[in-house]
Structure 1
Amino acid sequence: MGDPRSLNAYLRYFLPWNLYRMARLFQGLDINLPDNGIVVDLGAGPLTVAQALWIARPDLREKKLTFINVDRTPKPMREGSRLFTEMAGEKSPWRMVNVKGGSTSKLREKAHLLVTANMVNEASAGTRIPLPVWAEKFCLSMVHKLAPEGRILIIEPGIRRSGRVLSVIRQEFVQAGFPILGPCTHEEECPMNGEKGKAWCHFNFDSDHAPAWLQKLSAECRLEKDNVSLSFLYVGLRKEETERPREGEMLIRAVSESFRLDEGGFGQYGCAAEGQILLSAQGGAKTLYPGGLIGMPIPEEEKRDEKSGALIVPLPIRESDKRKKK
């Protein structure tokens, strides 16, 4: 993004869409930052992370936070700083510190939240090192940048390659003993790892709520979007942070959008410690939003989807669904 034309195009089109998808993610994540907290953004570009966090989390706006934005190209960070000031105002307690460097740069500050967005896929593709070896070095580098209570958030495009890379990184963190806070509900083998034709873990969000001017611009550029997608991995340092299912229950993360089933009703793929799940919504039951979490009793009879091999779990008809049906 050192080229002025490319940077201008990015700021006017790609930045707003990235803000839209990141803000959707930040609204649903458990992000708790202390006063005087440190957020490190590796591959910061035009400070998309800081801007999206400001938009999505008004509960954090009054906290004194320092953002250490790291990128090899300073100009996008300078433009991003100006945009953030226009958005948040001169008196915002959030302080932007822009550092020229890369993901391996040594930083004095330890992060309470360490974020990389749209960086890991490119970095891993640009090396001849086998992916598991690269992932081990990457994870070690990230952990060394964390405060004792810190967390790591990796956000990538919702493409197969990203899903595969994040699955390998996830396995490295699991083997090193770090809890996976999201989207995974477990530390078992990833059933949606993008390997050998398998599905990959990613989330789609409709674009209906994007600003009208952005949708109009996209149409005029012939780059219309019906939805946006992303893959992500959220990692902590303390085991007690992870949510555990109750006895006889499985925790299921809804991954895909809903789709019609041949036998009627709607289905939705999800993930649990038991493997890939097909949530089945029949008789007025409703599927979940992508990313939704639900606890369900472990089925007494194991039924599998013929197409995917996923364990079929019927969704209950909620009281709210009954009222809507009336």
Structure 2
Amino acid sequence: PAMPEPLKQAAGHPLCRPLFGPADPFVRKALALLPQALDAVMPLSRNHRADLPEAIRDLSAMLTYERGGLGRSYWSAPRYVSAYLRYFLPWNLVRLSRLLPGLDLPVPPCDAEHPVTVADLGSGPLTLPLALWLSRPDWRALPLTLICVDTVPRPMEMGRSLLERMAELCGEELKWTIRLVRTPLMQAFREVRAPHLLMAGNVLNELKDKPGVSLEDRMAELAFAVGRTLHPEGAALFVEPGTRLGGTLTAKLRETALEEGLVPFAPCPHQEPCPLLDSRERRWCHATLLAEAPAWLSELARTAHLPKDSLSLSFMLLRPEGCALPEKAALFPSMDPRGVVGRILSDAFPVPGMGRARYACTEEGFAIIPAAEGIPSGALVACRRPSSPRRDAKSGAVELLWQAETKPQR
């Protein structure tokens, strides 16, 4: 689906920084080639191929209803491995390859004197490393060491083969040295020394089940380990599904990370307490993008009766205490210095007297921005305070204005 014109205009405006950029040509080409790589790594018999749509539906039901309680048991059943690799992995690559280019992941110098390590916790089939390699040419070019950690070795082995085959199909040299480590999540920190980038996808939802230990304690343990392990100029990225659970888990990680001296760089535009962790607030932090996928994946989704119009995710990007958040003037040189930076948190919805509004997170708390249909989900925006701000009757959010001070850049 094409981006609606108002969104295009807002995305090019100097007072709006979209979270999701347009799909990169290299990524589009690579995702179109993904089925070839998958066929090489895990060939399908005719019967398995015919059963694939039904296997996808069955696995979707398992993942939806049982969530983290599966213990990843589906990796021992070839039927579900095929379904995961050919449906869930590609959709994750679609959304992650749109997220990663929009994040501040500083690329370190990398040579014999300055070795660079990337750690991927709960790696599965190397989904996040694959997305990083596809969508960040600056990281793809580094001769770094990638350390992948999981309790189940088979998906990691398949992911490594997939990455090697994708590099071959794309005509790119794979410069990364890949180490696979079989160990539980918290023990992984013994294996990793000062990573410049630490990543974890769909890991926080597996922290929640541990008898006798609260989720807050487990989050605190994780945040402490991240703070102690991360390179002083590094970054730690946690990505979860854009569900209420995913948004709540990333917000709780942020809360404990602040106590451990880590700085939340994104999506948060501030370091104040999270306005969405208020127990009365039924909203959660997530961002949504159009489901722009290769034709083969859209067709498979239709055949499996699981078509997608949009994709959502929740995430938290943390950096060590010495890394300063960018100043307002650096983010938006043309903004009023008395203005407020907000992160768009919701789809547009009708509000009497405000047109189609969107909710935003700001240093002043939960906010509502009237006439905001044109601003893309997840974007950072420069707002100004109205002379007589109203409050949203439903949520109590305070009104802020986003108005184009200059014409959008075409």
TM-score w.r.t. length of structure 2: 0.73
1:58 paired to 2:134: no
Question: Relative to 1, partners in 2 of residues 1:272 and 1:197: Cα closer, same or farther, differing over 3 Å?
Answer: closer
User: Tell me, what secondary structure is at the counterpart of 1:111?
Assistant: coil
Shift of 1:319: 4.0
Question: Relative to 1, partners in 2 of residues 1:225 and 1:127: Cα closer, same or farther, differing over 3 Å?
Answer: farther
User: Tell me, what secondary structure is at the counterpart of 1:99?
Assistant: strand
Which residue identity is paired with 1:263? Answer: G
- Partners of 2:122 and 2:214 lie apart in 1 by 22
Shift of 1:5: 2.1
1:9 paired to 2:83: yes
Shift of 1:60: 2.5
Q: Is the 8 A contact 2:383 2:403 kept in 1?
A: no
- Partners of 2:117 and 2:278 lie apart in 1 by 33
1:250 paired to 2:340: yes
- Partners of 1:310 and 1:169 lie apart in 2 by 24
Which residue identity is paired with 1:173? Answer: A
Alignment of 1:32-71 (within 5 A): 32-34=106-108, 35=110, 36-71=115-150
Q: Is the 8 A contact 1:166 1:233 kept in 2?
A: yes
Q: Is the 8 A contact 1:54 1:88 kept in 2?
A: no
1:76 paired to 2:76: no
Encode CA deviations 1:187-223: one digit per residue, 9 max, x unaligned.
Answer: 112112373452110111111x211111110110011
Question: Relative to 1, partners in 2 of residues 1:121 and 1:47: Cα closer, same or farther, differing over 3 Å?
Answer: same
Shift of 1:3: 2.6
Flag structure 1 segments of 5+ consecutive residues without an equivalent: none
Which stretch has the larger CA shift, 90-99 or 61-70?
Answer: 90-99
Which residue identity is paired with 1:187? Answer: Q
1:232 paired to 2:315: yes
- Partners of 2:322 and 2:392 lie apart in 1 by 33
- Partners of 1:230 and 1:123 lie apart in 2 by 18
Larger RCO: 1 or 2 (CA < 8 Å, sep 6+) = 2
Instruction: Pick from 187, 196, 208 the counterpart of residue 124 of structure 1.
Output: 208
- Partners of 2:99 and 2:278 lie apart in 1 by 21
Identity %: 34
Encode CA deviations 1:240-271: one digit per residue, 9 max, x unaligned.
Answer: 43124464221111121223333363211110
Name the structure where helix makes up a greater proportion of residues: 2
- Partners of 2:222 and 2:211 lie apart in 1 by 12
Which residue identity is paired with 2:119? Answer: V
Q: Is the 8 A contact 2:357 2:373 kept in 1?
A: no
Q: Is the 8 A contact 1:194 1:201 kept in 2?
A: no
Compute the RMSD of aligned alpha carbons. Answer: 2.1
Shift of 1:310: 0.9
Shift of 1:288: 1.8
Which stretch has the larger CA shift, 23-32 or 105-114?
Answer: 105-114
Structure 1 residue aligned with 2:392: 305
Stretches of 4+ aligned residues off by more than 4 angstroms: none
1:88 paired to 2:167: yes
Which residue identity is paired with 1:276? Answer: F
User: Tell me, what secondary structure is at the counterpart of 2:231?
Assistant: strand
Give aligned pairs, total.
319
Instruction: Pick from 182, 188, 213 the counterpart of residue 100 of structure 1.
Output: 182
Structure 1 residue aligned with 2:103: 29
Q: Is the 8 A contact 2:147 2:192 kept in 1?
A: no
Which stretch has the larger CA shift, 79-88 or 186-195?
Answer: 186-195
Q: Is the 8 A contact 2:145 2:178 kept in 1?
A: yes
User: Tell me, what secondary structure is at the counterpart of 2:277?
Assistant: coil
Flag structure 2 segments of 5+ consecutive residues without an equivalent: 1-74, 330-336
- Partners of 1:244 and 1:44 lie apart in 2 by 34
Structure 1 residue aligned with 2:374: 287
- Partners of 1:166 and 1:13 lie apart in 2 by 25
